[in-house]
Amino acid sequence: MMFTRTHFVGYLGFISLGLANAMIGPAIPHLIKEYNMSFSLVGALLFVQGVFYFMAVVSAGVASDFFGKKPFLLAGASSMTAGLIGFILGRNEVALFVAVALIGMGVGTLDGGVNGLFMDISGDKKGIGLGLLHMFFGVGALSGPLLFNLVSATFSSWRPAFLFTACIPILFFVLLFPTRLPKANGEEVIRLSDVAVLLKRRIILQFILLLFVYVGAEQVVASWLPTYLIGTRGVPHATGSFALSLFFVGLTVGRLLNGFVSEKVGYVQTLFFLSLGSTVLFLLVFAVQAIGLSILLFVLLGLFFSGIYPTAMAQAGSVFPQYSGTLSGVLTAAGGLGGMLLPLSMGLVSDYAGLQVGLWVPLVATIAMLFLASVSWGYVRREGRLNSLG
């Protein structure tokens, strides 16, 4: 596989996605203290970020076709940079909401745009190309909380951490601007008729719901983990942020290994066992009070969470390969909705019943994911028997 300047720029873009996505979680305890924000208001902040991310992702294909991939990506990097700097300059809740909207728009634009770009440049090695690209998201995500701790301790303020993070999308912009991007070879577009056909199939509805609850649960952990550990275990801010980095370490390592495991074991079987492990680990979180063991459970949770998204995509694509592009769009949108609504729900529940009860939101989502994975395994086994008989 040949690596070009475009590959390097794309990897840099995904590092910036991971950094921006992981920076807000460690900042939440500071926002609550400095702005006297309720858990519900923090949940609304995360909801707004998710809304603008969702809008950017679902419009990525049409917008990049209309404006061109490069202007679309440059606009995304500019939006992300403006949002990150807005966190530094903002002095009230309204400014924070504007900042997270810009960050969400920027992250969604780069997510959709760079994924599409790598589909173009990876040829018949799309699995390897996209897998390596998403590994760099993990690199950025696990570095974010570490950078937050380091900069906060050095400058005795959490705000400069967002300035350092903003340097990455700025560098992405500077390197992308003179780069000539390849033209797409007949990109597949999402057709409403295909969506209608897919939504009539029960197995696709199961995968839509599965990715809705999975992405929602993952975003709850990514956003709320430091606040949860600080509020329920009494850990220092630095420990809460470090725990989030370790969660992303588990997520990154798991994604490197998952492709090999799922190909050996089978997609739907892997999906079931990952969902089962995630559910058991979430239940153990409620039973364990020791700080070290609690953090270890979240690291293992990241490891089990890691393969659910790509494995669900692969299984859905193998059931209906003729609708791969449409399926990818529909399932990504479902995940985006979960990422909007579940962090908001965590904030609302935590405001009324406390953070310990609030964590029931992702637990219930994970139990639902296990049920959906079980039903999907049954469907695939049943279809396999019918095909072998027919």
* Residue pLDDT, tens place only, 194-245: 666 666 677 888 888 999 999 999 999 999 999 999 999 999 999 999 999 9
DSSP summary character for residue 73: H
**How far is Cα 51 from Cα 332, in angstroms, rounded to an integer?**
13
Going 295 to 245 to 54 to 191, the CA torsion angle's sign is negative
Q: Global pTM?
A: 0.86
Q: List Cα–Cα distances, 16 to 115, 138, 248, 385, in angstroms.
A: 14, 10, 15, 46
pLDDT in tens, 76-130: 999 999 999 998 898 889 999 999 999 999 998 888 788 777 767 766 666 567 6
Query: Does 350 have pLDDT greater than 80?
Result: yes
Between 183 and 76, the more confident residue is 76
Comparing 61 with 225, which gets the higher pLDDT? 225
Question: Is it the case that residue 283 has pLDDT exceeding 80?
Answer: yes
Among 145, 339, 316, CA closest to 242: 145
CATH of domain 189-390: 1.20.1250.20
> Closest by alpha carbon to 229, among 210, 242, 211, 218?
242
In the numeric block, which tokens belong to residue 172? 């992405």
Gap between the terminal Cα atoms of the chain: 40
* Rounded-to-integer distance, Cα 331 and Cα 323, Å: 12
pLDDT band at 386; cut points 50, 70, 90: very low
pLDDT at 389 > cutoff 50: no
Over the chain, what is the mean pLDDT? 86
Q: Would you state the pLDDT for residue 202?
A: 78
Listed in sequence order, the residues at least 6 apart from 141 whose beta carbon sits closer than 8 Å to its beta carbon are 18, 19, 21, 22, 222, 248, 251, 252
Residues of the chain with CATH 1.20.1250.20: 1-178, 189-390
Q: What is the mean pLDDT of residues 293-302?
A: 95
Domain 1-178 has CATH 3.10.20.440: no
CB burial class (10 A; 0-12, 13-18, 19+) of residue 362? buried
The neighbour count for residue 289, using CB atoms within 10 Å, is 9
Residues 321 and 315: their CA atoms lie apart, in Å, by 10
